[in-house]
C-alpha cells in the first residue's frame, strides 16, 4: 500500500447515552429502531496497517489481527462451498493463530452487501458486539454440541473464546470498511445488552456506550486475500474480551468506490485452563 494515512475522520453511530443504567434494554431490529436508539459521533479512525506492520496487534491485547490467507472458495453464496471448504480453511487458520486445542464453527454466517434482502445482512451501521457477554458460555457449549455428542469440554477444565473472521469477497474494500474498537480501550461497564428482535429480552446481543478513551482502527484498501480476526468473547481472565465494530463511510474514498461485499464466519475455540497461547 503506497498511501498510509495515520488516521481519518468519520462518524460512528453509538447507542444513545440515556440507555446507561436503565432496567429495560433497547431494541434494534430495523432502520427505524436504529435511528431511534443511536447517535452519530465524530471519531478518529486509525490506520491498523501501521500497527500491523509494527507487530503491535494481538488477539489478547488489542483483540484483533490482520492475516494474509488465500482461499479456494470463489462463490461465497454457495452454502456447500462455505461448509465443505471455507469452514475447514478458517478452522486451520484460527487454530494456527490462537494455539487453541480445538475450534468449532458457528453454522450461521453472513455475506453482507449494499442492497441486502434482510436488515441484518446489510453493512452494520451502528457499533455493536455480535453477542452478549452475559450467558454466552451456554451458547459456546451449544455450538460445540452441534459438532457431535462426543465433543465434551467441561468448564472446570477448559476456557472458550469466540472469534469473527472477516473477509472481502468482491475485490478491494474502498468504501464501507469495518471500524474496530481496540478491546484494550473498552470498559466492561460500558457494554449494554440489547434485543435484535421486536420482542424484548429475546435475540440478545450487546452494544457499547461511548467513552472518550475508546480508540478505533480500520484496514485501508483491504484485499480479498486478507482476513481480519476479531475477538468476540473470551472466558479467560486478563485477556481482551470483545472488539465492538461497525461499518463506516470513508470521506477519502473515491466517488465511484467499489461497493463492499464481505463474509464473516465465527469460531468457538477451546483452551485448557492455564494455557498461555493467544
Most confident option among 30-34, 115-119, 229-233, 274-278 = 229-233
Least confident of 63-67, 119-123, 179-183: 119-123
What are 20-62's pLDDT values in tens digits? 999 999 999 888 999 999 999 999 999 999 999 999 999 999 9
pTM of the predicted protein model: 0.93
Position 259 pLDDT exceeds 90? no
Position 136 pLDDT exceeds 90? no
DSSP codes of every residue in 149-174: TT----TTTEEEEEEEEEEESSS---
Position 97 pLDDT exceeds 60? yes
Contacts 24+ apart (CB under 8 A), 250-253: 250/8, 250/10, 250/174, 250/175, 250/176, 250/177, 250/218, 251/8, 251/9, 251/10, 252/5, 252/8, 253/174, 253/175
pLDDT band at 112 (very low <50, low <70, confident <90, very high): confident
Give the model's pLDDT for residue 233: 96
Give the model's pLDDT for residue 201: 62
Percent of the chain scoring above 70 in pLDDT? 94
Give the model's pLDDT for residue 145: 87
pLDDT band at 7 (very low <50, low <70, confident <90, very high): very high
Position 149 pLDDT exceeds 90? no
Give the model's pLDDT for residue 116: 62
Give the model's pLDDT for residue 3: 65
Q: How many CB atoms lie within 10 A of CB 209?
A: 19
Q: How many CA atoms lie within 13 A of 206 on its CB side?
A: 21
Of 46, 48, 38, 42, which is closest to residue 10 (Cα–Cα)? 42
**Residue 113 Cα distances to 7, 44, 144, 270, angstroms:** 25, 25, 29, 31
Greater confidence, 5 or 44? 44
Q: How high is the mean pLDDT of the chain?
A: 92
Give the model's pLDDT for residue 185: 98
What are 178-204's pLDDT values in tens digits? 999 999 999 999 999 999 888 766 678
Position 120 pLDDT exceeds 80? no
Which residue has 436488515 as its cell numbers?
Answer: 119
Going from N- to C-terminal start, the domains of the chain cover 7-272
Amino acid at each position: 500500500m503506497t498511501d498510509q494515512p495515520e488516521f481519518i475522520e468519520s462518524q460512528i453511530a453509538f447507542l444513545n447515552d440515556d440507555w446507561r443504567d436503565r432496567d429495560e434494554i433497547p431494541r434494534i431490529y430495523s432502520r427505524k429502531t436504529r435511528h431511534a436508539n443511536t447517535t452519530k459521533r465524530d471519531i478518529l479512525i486509525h490506520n491498523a496497517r501501521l500497527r500491523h506492520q509494527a507487530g503491535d496487534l494481538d488477539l489478547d491485547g488489542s483483540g484483533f489481527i490482520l492475516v494474509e490467507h488465500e482461499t479456494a472458495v470463489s462463490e461465497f453464496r454457495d452454502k456447500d462451498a462455505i461448509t465443505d471448504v471455507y469452514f475447514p480453511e478458517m478452522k486451520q487458520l484460527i487454530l494456527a493463530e490462537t494455539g487453541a486445542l480445538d475450534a468449532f464453527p458457528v453454522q450461521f454466517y453472513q455475506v453482507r452487501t449494499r442492497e441486502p434482502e434482510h436488515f441484518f445482512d446489510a453493512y452494520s451501521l451502528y457499533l455493536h458486539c455480535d453477542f452478549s457477554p452475559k450467558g454466552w458460555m451456554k451458547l459456546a457449549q451449544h455450538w460445540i454440541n452441534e459438532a457431535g455428542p462426543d465433543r465434551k469440554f467441561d468448564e472446570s477444565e477448559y476456557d472458550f473464546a469466540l472469534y469473527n473472521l472477516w473477509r472481502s469477497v468482491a475485490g478491494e474494500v474502498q468504501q464501507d470498511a469495518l471500524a474496530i474498537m481496540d478491546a484494550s480501550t473498552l470498559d466492561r461497564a460500558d457494554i449494554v445488552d440489547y434485543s435484535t428482535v421486536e420482542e424484548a429480552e429475546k435475540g440478545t446481543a450487546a452494544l457499547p456506550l461511548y467513552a472518550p478513551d475508546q480508540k478505533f482502527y480500520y484496514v485501508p484498501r483491504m484485499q480479498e486475500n486478507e482476513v481480519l480476526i476479531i475477538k468476540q468473547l473470551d472466558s479467560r481472565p486478563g485477556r481482551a474480551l470483545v472488539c465492538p465494530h461497525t461499518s463506516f463511510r470513508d470521506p477519502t474514498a473515491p466517488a465511484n468506490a467499489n461497493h463492499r461485499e464481505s463474509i464473516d464466519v465465527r469460531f468457538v475455540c477451546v483452551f485448557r485452563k492455564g494455557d498461555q497461547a493467544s
